[in-house]
Amino acid sequence: MRSAGQAKVYGVSIKDRGAVSMAGHAGKAFWFSKAAGEFVTSTYYYDAYPEWVTAWNASDPLERYVGGAWELSQEQSSYLFGDRDDQEWETAMPGFGRTFPHAFGERDSRGFTTDLTLSPAGDQITLDFAKALIENESLGQDEVTDYLSVSFSSTDYIGHIFGPSSLEAEDNLLQLDRAIAALLEYVDETVGLEHTLIALSADHGGPEAPGALQEYGFDVNYVEPDTWDKAPAFERLKERFGIGEELIETYAHPYVYLNQDLLSEKGLDKAEVEQAVAEELTKFPGVALAVSSQALARGETADSPVFQAVLNNYHLKRSGDVYVVFEPQWFIADFDGLHVACTHGSPWRYDTYVPVIFAGAGLEPQTIHRHVSTVDVASTLCAYLGLQPTSGSSGTVLEEVLGE
């Protein structure tokens, strides 16, 4: 808007959500379709694909991976986790396995494109497309500032499947480092890093696999709500409100959704029922606390970082009725219906511990040791470019980036 539409804004990722959200309302997004085996976009952005995108897809960039495998990039003995290539909590994807080498299979095999995203190949494909976009859309070639978001998202998939303390995660980070270096080298050649402000962060952190922590004496495990004995809790709720199991409409973590029609029919006080359900939930193994949405809306919660994180998640029109927080390092091991080593989404520090790095554009090197938030990135970019902060911006400007 500041440039009257002249600025070019793009988001690229192996994931749809990694591209769409970062491109914003006015930008354009491209993401990798596992079904199509190529980068795609939407009619929201284009009436027809740019010719260069069609040509790039037609060049068959996946051919190099057909019949191949994810191999270690260094000698196995050089890795921190070199002797942990087969851990029982890792997920053995069909045909991909949990030990090196991880085979990609043939092009017509069912999991071929999925397996690519579960390896550094996913980031390499993203890198190749991003470089083609920079070239064909002439990013950074005039006086108007352009914006490009590249989300290297295979790290997320690999963390889910194998966990952070795995040989796979370690090798992936080494290869991701090289992918980022290759992108920056290309930007330096085509635009010049002295003309480029780089912001690097992540959308979330993640826990360790419970099995890995148990080796060090931690009392942690997976949470399995299906195995909970819920009968006593429902009996107590029935004695108090006259309704039991039918009170719960569904549970989609982190929210429990109550049967609103039934509450209205019985003339029950919603806040009272939510609080009672929350109290029962805290009695189950692995549950640290449960928070009533009515209590959140009324500001009736404790002033602590955990409660603040829960409040940050709350949306009046979209959230459920009771937010469930598991104990640190306890979680439901489910990712799109698949049992996985790790998953994220808690308010605990490990799930919010991510890098925030600014570089390029003549910034002087320094390391800042204080708590900052990922939402600070948007506010800082706006301030750096002299833009009005976006309507939903709540971050703090990181003044070190501005040289102040």
CATH number at residue 253: 3.30.1360.150
Arithmetic mean of pLDDT, 37-50: 97
* Residue 82, pLDDT score: 97
Helices (H), 191-292: 210-214, 231-241, 260-266, 270-281
Residues 108 and 164 reside in one and the same domain: yes
The three-state secondary structure class of 132 is helix
Residues 294 and 237 reside in one and the same domain: yes
* Residue 391, pLDDT score: 85
**Beta carbons of 221 and 211 less than 8 angstroms apart:** no
Residues 245 and 323 reside in one and the same domain: yes
CATH at residue 204: 3.40.720.10
* Residue 393, pLDDT score: 86
**Beta carbons of 200 and 360 less than 8 angstroms apart:** no
Residues 292 and 353 reside in one and the same domain: no
Residues 80 and 136 reside in one and the same domain: yes
- Chain centroid offset of residue 230 CA: 32
Residues 123 and 251 reside in one and the same domain: no
135 within some domain: yes
* Residue 335, pLDDT score: 80
Residues 167 and 297 reside in one and the same domain: no
Residues 148 and 245 reside in one and the same domain: no
State yes or no: cis peptide before 101, omega within 30 of 0: yes
Phi and psi torsions of 169, nearest 5°:
-65, -40
Arithmetic mean of pLDDT, 128-155: 98
Arithmetic mean of pLDDT, 124-149: 98
Minimal CA–CA distance to 249: which of 277, 275, 276?
Answer: 277
Q: Report whether pLDDT(404) > 70.
A: no
State yes or no: cis peptide before 210, omega within 30 of 0: no
pTM: 0.94
318 within some domain: yes
Enumerate residues 6+ apart whose C-beta is below 8 A from 354: 201, 202, 203, 204, 205, 374
Residues 297 and 201 reside in one and the same domain: no
386 within some domain: no
Structural domain total, the chain: 2
Enumerate residues 6+ apart whose C-beta is below 8 A from 302: none
- In tens, the pLDDT along 46-58 reads 999 999 999 999 9
Minimal CA–CA distance to 352: which of 231, 232, 201?
Answer: 201
* Residue 235, pLDDT score: 97
Longest dimension (CA), the chain: 72
pLDDT grade, residue 153 (50/70/90)? Answer: very high
Enumerate residues 6+ apart whose C-beta is below 8 A from 371: none
Residues 237 and 199 reside in one and the same domain: no
Q: Where are the beta strands (DSSP E) in 100-183?
A: 102-103, 147-151
Residues 192 and 278 reside in one and the same domain: no
pLDDT grade, residue 392 (50/70/90)? Answer: confident
- In tens, the pLDDT along 51-97 reads 999 999 999 999 999 999 999 999 999 999 999 999 999 999 999 99
Q: Report whether pLDDT(99) > 90.
A: yes
Residues 45 and 168 reside in one and the same domain: yes
Per the structure, the complete domain to which residue 300 belongs is given by 225-327
Minimal CA–CA distance to 42: which of 56, 27, 57?
Answer: 27
Looking at every residue in the chain, the average pLDDT score rounds to 95
The three-state secondary structure class of 279 is helix
Burial of 155 (0-12, 13-18, 19+ CB in 10 A): buried
Helix axes 231-241, 270-281, angle to 10 degrees: 160
CA distance linking residue 58 with residue 322, whole number of Å = 49
375 within some domain: no
* Residue 337, pLDDT score: 81
pLDDT over 90 for what percent of the chain?
A: 95
* Residue 336, pLDDT score: 78
Arithmetic mean of pLDDT, 320-340: 93
58 within some domain: yes
Instruction: For residue 206, give both structure tokens.
Output: 């993640």
* Residue 390, pLDDT score: 84
- In tens, the pLDDT along 224-253 reads 999 999 999 999 999 999 999 999 999 999
- In tens, the pLDDT along 271-323 reads 999 999 999 999 999 999 999 999 999 999 889 999 999 999 999 899 999 99
Q: Report whether pLDDT(403) > 90.
A: no
End-to-end CA, the chain: 26
CA distance linking residue 243 with residue 239, whole number of Å = 8
81 within some domain: yes
234 within some domain: yes
298 within some domain: yes
Enumerate residues 6+ apart whose C-beta is below 8 A from 181: none
